Structure 1
Amino acid sequence: MSHLFPVYNRLDVELVSGEGTRVKDADGKTYLDFIAGIAVCNLGHTPEAVKKAVKDQLDKLWHVSNLFQLSVQEQAAGLLAKASGLDAVFFCNSGAEANEAAIKLAKKHTGKTKILTFKQSFHGRTFATMSATGQEKIHSGFGPLLPAFEYLPYNDVEALRDVGGDDIAGIMVEVIQGEGGVHPGTEKFLKEVENKCRELGALLIIDEVQTGIGRTGTPFAFQHYRLQPDIVTAAKGLGSGFPVGAMIGREELVSTFSPGTHGSTFGGNPLAMAAVKATLETIIEESFLKEVKEKSEAFIQSLKHKLESLALVKEVRGEGFMIGIQLAEEAKGPIGRLRENGLLTLPAGPDVIRLLPPLNVTEEELQEALAILEHCLSQQTAEAAR
């Protein structure tokens, strides 16, 4: 028997090596990886610049705790502040921890108790972030949740306009709901979220754990809509696979998180910071993001052209390299067929195939993936019609 708790539905596949967009399993089979560690390996597997930075740091220092000054942490924080347009960073170890920090900061800064989130959102699996998540399947079996959260329908402007009260500390929103099915927010809705925060004296918290670090063609997805958040959270793509998260906030919030109000033993450790610094130095370059935007826009259009005529496919949607293919049936079977044909994808909800390739995926790899998708989904459509 395995000595691991069975909290994951693991595939009967062990990946043993990878470079760029390609990975190899223990049987020697190679795949195009359009999961990328669930939007983590934004520079692909084992990127040279990140590998060198971490190796160099390994020879110097691994861990000293946040009792001491760390230049590499300051440098990584400066890059994140510049990329986001915000001012200060708290480093932690995951997206859930980043969202925990955001929830604590919003409540402490405002002195208020309630956080509004949205149905079908996903913010993490700690008790507070699970409570913030607007999905019953995440809540089931854990008893009463924390009472500080209220869920509104996503992309519903009228429901937002009806919100009132003097106890709302913040509104936490994903610009694109990832785990909830790759649903982009409309500009009208997202601006209304921002307006409602200003009206209520609440903080605008944008969860960019999956959408951030270049995934949508800008450093952060909120920048497509010219939003002005108070707090942004990041994690997945931040360290090219090293466990790291970050909460980024504006200058007015800095004094609220004074010494002793929050912390993390491993957050901001030198190895993770070396990975973050090297990752950001590549991704936030204008030329790199321009290429992501151009490649992803062309790829989405090709997907729409090739797939939306199939009866199986209801819609192709997304932004940048965060793409969902909505099916007329459960996605589990087609995802298995794609894997058998050498393309790794994952679901987003029961009936959406999610594509999260590395941001530096090549044109040739995109065309190869497109051919596999067209072949497999055409086969699936034909079989369903029999």
Structure 2
Amino acid sequence: MSHLFPTYSKWEIEPASAKGSYMFSTEGKKYLDLTAGIGVCNLGHCHDEVKAAVEAQLDKFWHVSNLFPVAIQEKAASALATASGMEAVFFANSGAEANEGAIKLARKATGKTKIITFEQSFHGRTFAAMSATGQDKIKQGFGPMLETFVNVPFNDLEALKAELTEDVAAVMLEVVQGEGGIHVANVEFLKETEALCKSVGALLIIDEIQTGIGRTGKPFAFQHFSLNPDIITSAKGLANGIPVGAIAAKKELVEFFGPGSHGTTFGGNPLAMAAACKTMEIIFEESFLDEVGKKSEFLISLLQEKLKANTAVKEVRGLGLIIGIELELPVANILAELREAGLIVLNAGEKVIRLLPSLNITTDELKEAVTIIENKLNIYSNIAI
């Protein structure tokens, strides 16, 4: 009997070790991992330089609390602020905590409470983050949500305009809806959303939990669209597997998070900061990000070529190395069959296969993955849906 709450439907693989893009089970089977811990291990499993950075900090101190100035925390904040174009950073422990903090900051700074988010969005499972999320299945059984959140259809300017009035504190969005099915926002929608926010005194919050830290070929996904958000949130890939989250905001908002306004025991932990500093140092190099863009073009093009004649495949889409393959049928059983064939991938909703490989995956590893996907999906081509 397990003493864990059954909140997760566990897969049949028990990991024994992992390195780079591969995971090895306790039964000795090798798997090509295109989940990267759900977009977390952006430099692959057990990256040597990140490991060395954490080990070096382990020999100094592990935790002292945020009552003390910690140089490595300042270093990580500077790197994140520089890469994002923000001025102030608050470190938390997870993406949900980062989004909670962003919501608090927006409400305090504006003196307003209404926040607009989008259908099929995902912002976390704490109560405010769950209320912000535009998926009813996340909310079932928990009673009334916070009343100050309004969900409108994604990429729908008219629906947004109907709700975006002067009583709105913020609009919160994902440039690419990850959990919601790998839907990329269109540029007109994003630019107009930013302009509308400014016109009514609302803040623009961009949730970069899954899309940040190089995942799309830029430090953050909003930079593909030349946006100027007030707040962004980050987590997942920020420390390559060591738990961390972050809020980054414009300097105008600094005064609203003064002493006693917000806090965390473990946020900004020195071990997480060591991992984050090294992760950002590697990923934010221009040559590294250029390679992510090239791999994205290669992978999307190869998938489209190999799957174009497959009647079970509706569309291949994505941005950078967050890619969705939408099918005409549910993917749950197919994901299990892919694992049996040695490939680990995710779903994004009922009918989308989600690919989140490590950013330093090789071209040969991508070819290997596409071959497995092609062979498995060929079984379903021309089957009556």
CA distance in 1, matches of 2:18, 2:237: 17
CA distance in 1, matches of 2:267, 2:305: 45
What corresponds to 1:378 in structure 2? 378
CA distance in 1, matches of 2:219, 2:31: 28
What corresponds to 1:338 in structure 2? 338
What corresponds to 2:6 in structure 1? 6
Q: Please state if 1:235 is matched with 2:235.
A: yes
Question: How far does the alpha carbon of each residue in 1:207-241 deviate from its partner, in whole angstroms, 9 at most, with x for none?
Answer: 00000000000000000000000000000000110
Structure 1 vs Structure 2 CA RMSD? 1.0
What SS does the aligned partner of 2:380 have?
A: helix
Per the TM alignment, residue 385 of structure 1 is displaced from its structure 2 partner at its CA by: 5.1
Per the TM alignment, residue 21 of structure 1 is displaced from its structure 2 partner at its CA by: 0.2
Asked if 1 retains the 8 angstrom alpha-carbon contact of 2:164 and 2:197, the reply is no
Asked if 1 retains the 8 angstrom alpha-carbon contact of 2:166 and 2:202, the reply is no
TM-score (norm 2): 0.99
AA paired with 1:269? N
What SS does the aligned partner of 2:381 have?
A: helix
Asked if 2 retains the 8 angstrom alpha-carbon contact of 1:331 and 1:351, the reply is yes
What corresponds to 1:254 in structure 2? 254
Asked if 2 retains the 8 angstrom alpha-carbon contact of 1:308 and 1:316, the reply is no
Asked if 1 retains the 8 angstrom alpha-carbon contact of 2:116 and 2:164, the reply is no
What SS does the aligned partner of 1:289 have?
A: helix
Question: How far does the alpha carbon of each residue in 1:190-217 deviate from its partner, in whole angstroms, 9 at most, with x for none?
Answer: 1121111111101000000000000000
AA paired with 1:194? E
What corresponds to 1:116 in structure 2? 116
Q: Please state if 1:174 is matched with 2:174.
A: yes
What SS does the aligned partner of 1:169 have?
A: strand
Number of residues paired by the alignment? 385
What SS does the aligned partner of 1:205 have?
A: strand
What SS does the aligned partner of 2:324 have?
A: strand
Alignment of 1:1-386 (within 5 A): 1-381=1-381, 384=383
Q: For structure 2, list consecutive stretches of 5 or more residues without a partner in the other structure.
A: none
Per the TM alignment, residue 165 of structure 1 is displaced from its structure 2 partner at its CA by: 2.8
Asked if 1 retains the 8 angstrom alpha-carbon contact of 2:35 and 2:357, the reply is yes
CA distance in 2, matches of 1:111, 1:357: 41
TM-score (norm 1): 0.98
CA distance in 2, matches of 1:259, 1:95: 22
CA distance in 1, matches of 2:149, 2:323: 29
AA paired with 1:165? T
AA paired with 2:147? P
Asked if 2 retains the 8 angstrom alpha-carbon contact of 1:160 and 1:192, the reply is no
CA distance in 2, matches of 1:227, 1:125: 27
CA distance in 2, matches of 1:366, 1:196: 41
What SS does the aligned partner of 2:379 have?
A: helix
CA distance in 1, matches of 2:381, 2:309: 11
Question: How far does the alpha carbon of each residue in 1:69-91 deviate from its partner, in whole angstroms, 9 at most, with x for none?
Answer: 00000000000011101111000
Q: For structure 1, list consecutive stretches of 5 or more residues without a partner in the other structure.
A: none
